[in-house]
A and B are shown apart, each in its own frame.
Chain A
Amino acid sequence: MRVTADRLLGIVLLGLAALVAVQALQWQIPFSYEPVGPRAFPLGLASLLSILALVLVFRPGANGHWPHRALAVKLLMVLVLLVVYATLFTRLGYIPASLLAATILARLFGTTWGKALITGVLMAIGSYFLFTSGLGISLPDGYLAGIV
């Protein structure tokens, strides 16, 4: 059997169905007068999912287009950037973290550093005032607390 995206998906889904079922069987369920407990529904879904996953394994569809290596690297970079943005969000504060994230994102999406930096600065500062004064959302100030 050839390895295709659909076959892999089918196998992953089988694993997921098994995980769902095994977890459900391990729950300690307090006594109740209800005829149907919390287990039945997930177990039903897991069995349905495993049937569909098996169909997928044996009759996979077209393989689709998957990113080549350069693009995959870029995708990973965007993901790492988003995770870094999340960790810096409260530590650095909204404005510096967003400035950094927006600038690098703009650069990754194909503009020059100069334009990216302008986008980042305008967007971070503009959106901060829009969100805080306009919509009344409180955003983390981080190290800038007291300056702004």
Chain B
Amino acid sequence: MFDFLIHGFAVALTPMNLGLAFLGALLGTLFGSLPGIGPINGIAILMPLAYTLGLPAESALILLAGIYTGSEYGGRMSSILLNVPGDAGAVMSTLDGHPLAKKGLAGPALGLSAVSSFVGATIAIIGLTLFAPLLAEVAVMFGPAEFFALMVFAFASMSVMMGKDPLKTAIGAILGILIGTVGVDSGTGVMRYTFGMAELYDGIDFVVMIIGLFAISEILLMLEQGNRRDGLDEGIPPLGRVFVSLKEILACKGAMGRSGLLGFIIGVLPGTGASVASAVAYTTEKRISDKHDTFGQGDMRGLAAPEAANNASAAGSFVPMLTLGIPGSGTTAVLLGALMLYNITPGPMMFTERPEVAGGLIASLYIGNLVLLALNLPLAGLFARVLTIPRWVLVPGIALLAFVGVYQLHSDLTAIYLMLVIGILGYLLRKLGISLAPVILGYVLGGLMEQNLRRALSISGGDIGILWQSGISVGLWIAAAALLILPWLLPKLLAGRTRHNRTG
């Protein structure tokens, strides 16, 4: 059953693909370390350029996966050195990472972060290798009705887990789905929401969507943050010795192992990404090993835990994406969209029909992870310098990359104007507290959701009962309902019980 992996290593170990894994890791780390550019922005900006290289699907995916894991790594730089998290997943890394840097241990902290990321990612990639083919076998039994229920579940779990405000997350997802409905309806040929514009007949291009939503809105947001103090004024703390000692690593082995496993499991759940994983891992580790109240003051285990967990969840979110075609996070949604550009719809059949893509990707994750460790330990100092790039260099660079990325699609200007409009929309949404990850997930999944709904109902001849006929779909509906109701119900139940205790 692991034929796909052997096949995958054969694909990933060709000189070109090895080179691409290396290039991806390097570019990803660089972009991830750029101030204000998190992993998702990094992929959004680099993806169209990867597309222009005219690579075969598996090579492009290897490059993108390298960029993905690399930027997750690179995002830690600013958390540790400047106390400015690059994205939501890196917030927990500032808690003990920055105090370590202040103590003069910035170098070892970066080293430890690289090692624990490596350990966490390795645990998750092994989990992915074992688990994905099994899940793919189950997923073959999924019909359209089950897929529809699964997507409802994914949106439910996303609304609850992602972002602070479930209501706004849900609104973001619906807006994303609505944007996805623009274009010719494949079933009937009806033009939906095209307003007579020929450019919209094929729908809003994926590249235009992500560059507008992420890169352009980022430019506008940076203008605002430019006036705020960024921590940069104090300069980067001295790195000290660059290598972390074996003793320090061994002191954290428990934290890494536990958090890696935890991160993987959380990453597998659709919609729950690195931010949930690192938060859960940090609090769990604090409960288990914070005996002397050192967490929060520069405890190495307090850095190792969230780092292992968020990288584990990054790899874990590949499980639902590769087997079910449901991305586990905003960033994997971008990767899924990239795959669709190559006419590959990830799902259970991918392991049998396109083993070179599924296997090549998993194999390249093993390789990319090693490359990253090898890059990050010696080059931490160099990557840290990237943090000092001023905004006035960074922003024109992003603008040029964004314009060229969109222009090269069809060499036409309408796409660029559309990108700017989407950018303004993205900026407004972020200002209103609606995070962009659910929007992009909705945009990517919405079309599939509608297709599956329509297919299911055409099988049953319009009887809506088919949506909850099988055990799998009933289970998914119950799980989705539980997710939506429990967070609202539990506090009330608990409050009721304590009140009862007090009176009794």
Contacts and interface: CB of A to CB of B under 8 A. Distances in A.
Contact of B458 (A6, A34, A86): A34
Contact count band on A: 35 or more
A42 interface: yes
Contacts of A116: 392
Given A45-B177, A106-B395, A111-B392, A52 B420 contact: no
Contacts of B181: 41-42, 45
Contacts of A86: 403, 413, 416-417, 420
A71 B221 CA distance: 11
Given A64-B433, A137-B408, A85 B392 contact: no
Given A71-B223, A102-B400, A109-B391, A137 B420 contact: no
A61 interface: yes
Interface in B367-390: 390
Interface in B149-180: 165, 167-168, 170-171, 174-175, 177-178
B396 interface: yes
A104 to B, nearest CB: 9
B22 to A, nearest CB: 17
If over half of B's interface residues share one DSSP class (helix, strand or loop), that class is named, otherwise mixed; here it is: helix
B413 A90 contact: yes
Contacts, number: 171
B222 interface: yes
Given A78-B223, A123-B400, A42 B178 contact: yes
Interface in B437-476: 450, 453-454, 457-458, 461-462
Interface residues of B, number: 61
If over half of A's interface residues share one DSSP class (helix, strand or loop), that class is named, otherwise mixed; here it is: helix
Interface string A2-44: 0001100100010010001001100111101111111001100
Contacts of B53: 135-136
B52 interface: yes
Contacts of B404: 94, 127, 131, 137, 139
B393 interface: yes
B49 interface: yes
Given A55-B167, A56-B167, A120-B396, A89 B413 contact: yes
B407 interface: yes
B411 interface: yes
B142 to A, nearest CB: 19
B478 interface: no
Contacts of A78: 219-220, 223
B188 A108 contact: no
Interface string A42-57: 1001001100110110
Interface in B403-435: 403-404, 407-408, 411, 413, 416-417, 420, 423-424, 431-433
B501 interface: no
B503 interface: no
Contacts of A52: 167, 170-171, 174
Interface stretch (B113-121, B189-197, B249-257, B259-267): B189-197
Q: Which 4 A-B pairs have the closest CB atoms?
A: A35-B462, A102-B396, A38-B185, A109-B392
Given A5-B432, A36-B454, A140-B407, 7 more contacts: A36-B458, A49-B171, A49-B175, A75-B223, A83-B420, A119-B392, A131-B404
21 contacts: A20-B193, A24-B192, A27-B192, A30-B189, A36-B454, A36-B458, A41-B450, A49-B175, A56-B167, A64-B431, A75-B223, A75-B224, A82-B219, A82-B420, A83-B420, A89-B416, A101-B400, A106-B393, A115-B392, A116-B392, A120-B396
